Amino acid sequence: MSSIFCTHRIPETGLTLLREKGHTVEVAEKETPLTRDELLQALRAKPYDAVITLLTDHVDGEVFDACPTARIWSNYAVGFNNLNIEEAKKRGLIVTNTAGTSSRAVAEHTVALMLALSTRLDEGDRFMREGKFKGWDPDLLIGVDISESTVGLIGTGAIGHEVANILYKGFGAKIIYSDPVINKSIEDEFGARRYSVEDTLKQADFVSLHVPLMNETKHLLNKERIEMMKPTAFLINTARGPIIDEKALVEALRDKKIRGAGLDVFEFEPEITEGLLHLENVIVTPH
């Protein structure tokens, strides 16, 4: 059977499935992601038949060549932007990812960020902990009703479709979207209408990003596009950090050019862009 190297511990269920099939699985012992040198050293240690990578591993030609016996590279992630697919093709390698497996979970987290922002949940929590609550007040921390909002989806793959499903059926929100191709499914099911990226940004009360990270989508939301959004609008990103020019976002949030943001991914993660964590109109969660 095969010898498999996993660059970071994954849920034991997956490892058990492989071992029950007779495969030998070795897992990197380090609690944090391997550095590039550590990854190269680990791959050169043995003639593995397959490698399980994580989205924190940047896999290019040098990494592939560090373990030339491995013909299968399985990415434990929905995306694949961390792997150089062209270099894999040159070597005739099989590359897989886990597309679709977390669509519902990511969609629910997206909606959770929207709800936290619209209800000012994080602000309310801080307000209480700081001892500011003196009794009920009809003007206190008034939020936004999603049921009366327009949600703009940038990208309508499996996750975008599930977000539309939850918001349309659960809240009655109006759905608009931008996608390179017409998505007849969300148009028929949720009454969604398709617009350009720019027109989606201009109309939406909530903008939610659901595109893969590619050359074409890096900084898809740059300074110019962020400023197209309504000053009352919220921006949600549960896709990939570099889709947003984060420095431009910090500026827009600081200057109240948009109302707020909910971020689960970051342009330079695990590093956070300077100033982002000091803003009270942003909610951040650890990918």
Could you give the residue numbers annotated as active site? 240, 269, 287
Q: Report the first-to-last Cα separation within the chain, whole angstroms.
A: 34
Give the chain's largest Cα–Cα span: 68
CA dist., res. 56 & res. 245, Å (int): 20
Other beta carbons less than 10 A from residue 57's beta carbon: 21
Q: DSSP string covering 37-103, please?
A: HHHHHHHHHS--SEEEEETT--B-HHHHHHSTT--EEEEESS--TTB-HHHHHHTT-EEE--TTTTH
Q: DSSP string covering 178-226, please?
A: E-SS--HHHHHHH--EE--HHHHHHH-SEEEE-----TTTTTSB-HHHH
Task: Determine whether 38 is exposed, middle or buried from the number of CB atoms within 10 Å of its CB (0-12, 13-18, 19+).
Answer: middle
Contact 178, 153 (CB under 8 A): yes
